[in-house]
């Protein structure tokens, strides 16, 4: 049965940095065939997770996919949720929103660059670092355990736990 996976990413369409890491991980760890359609919704900021434009785009993509089921996966940086109450509340609000709508919450602790590069990157360097990551095939150096965490701690993600539900590993 066909599946569409809609990844709601924090980045904007122009930069598209989060998707570089995400797609490299998917291609490296999973078998993707013509039964899997991957779509993206660019939120531009995690604070826009339930904005009308994001919800409208999810709805449109869901309605347009008629040959199987659609899974919506919010890809969110945790930021320093353990030190900042505002970040902790925002993360909890997004988690609750996802639960209420039957969506998945894929998190990166503390951000996608920290998980895949092992360090925080300034906004001005994010595009160049993501492109270098892809060009140098750095995904092959990532330890799968770092992408398989059930506990939010630095340099980890629950990416594998979420995607294993829907995709076959290579």
Write the pLDDT tens digit of every residue in 12-43.
999 999 999 999 999 999 999 999 999 999 99
Q: Check residue 32 and give its pLDDT.
A: 95
**Residue 1 above 90 pLDDT?**
no
Contact assessment for residue 75 and residue 16, using Cβ atoms and an 8 Å cutoff? no
Q: Could you give the dihedral angle defined by the CA atoms of residues 109, 110, 113 and 118, in that order, rounded to the nearest 10 degrees? A: -80
Q: Check residue 164 and give its pLDDT.
A: 98
Q: Looking at the 3D structure of the chain, how many domains does it have?
A: 1
pTM above the 0.85 mark? Answer: yes
Residue tagged 């996919």 (tokens): 65
Average pLDDT of 132-161? 97
The residue segments making up the domain with residue 132 are 2-169
Tokens of 153: 């701690």
pLDDT in tens, 63-122: 999 999 999 999 999 999 999 999 999 999 999 999 999 999 999 999 999 999 999 999
- CATH number for the domain spanning 93: value is 3.40.50
Alpha carbon of 68 to those of 35, 58, 102: distances in Å? 9, 15, 16
Question: Whats the size of the chain, residue-wise?
Answer: 170
User: In Å, how far from its chain's centre is CA 164?
Assistant: 14
């Amino acid at each position: 049965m066909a599946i569409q996976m809609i990844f709601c990413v924090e980045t904007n369409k122009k930069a598209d940095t989060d998707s570089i890491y995400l797609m490299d991980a998917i291609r490296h760890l999973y078998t993707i065939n013509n039964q899997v359609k991957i779509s993206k919704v660019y939120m531009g900021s995690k604070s826009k997770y339930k904005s009308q434009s994001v919800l409208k785009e999810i709805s449109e993509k869901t309605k347009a996919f008629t040959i199987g089921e659609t899974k919506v996966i919010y890809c969110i940086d945790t930021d320093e949720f353990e030190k900042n109450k505002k970040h902790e509340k925002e993360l909890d609000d997004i988690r609750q929103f996802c639960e209420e709508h039957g969506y998945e919450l894929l998190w990166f602790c503390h951000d996608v660059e920290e998980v895949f590069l092992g360090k925080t990157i300034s906004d001005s360097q994010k595009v160049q670092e993501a492109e270098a990551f892809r060009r140098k095939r750095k995904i092959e150096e990532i330890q799968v355990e770092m992408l398989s965490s059930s506990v939010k701690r630095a340099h980890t993600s629950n990416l594998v736990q979420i995607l294993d539900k829907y995709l076959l590993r290579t």
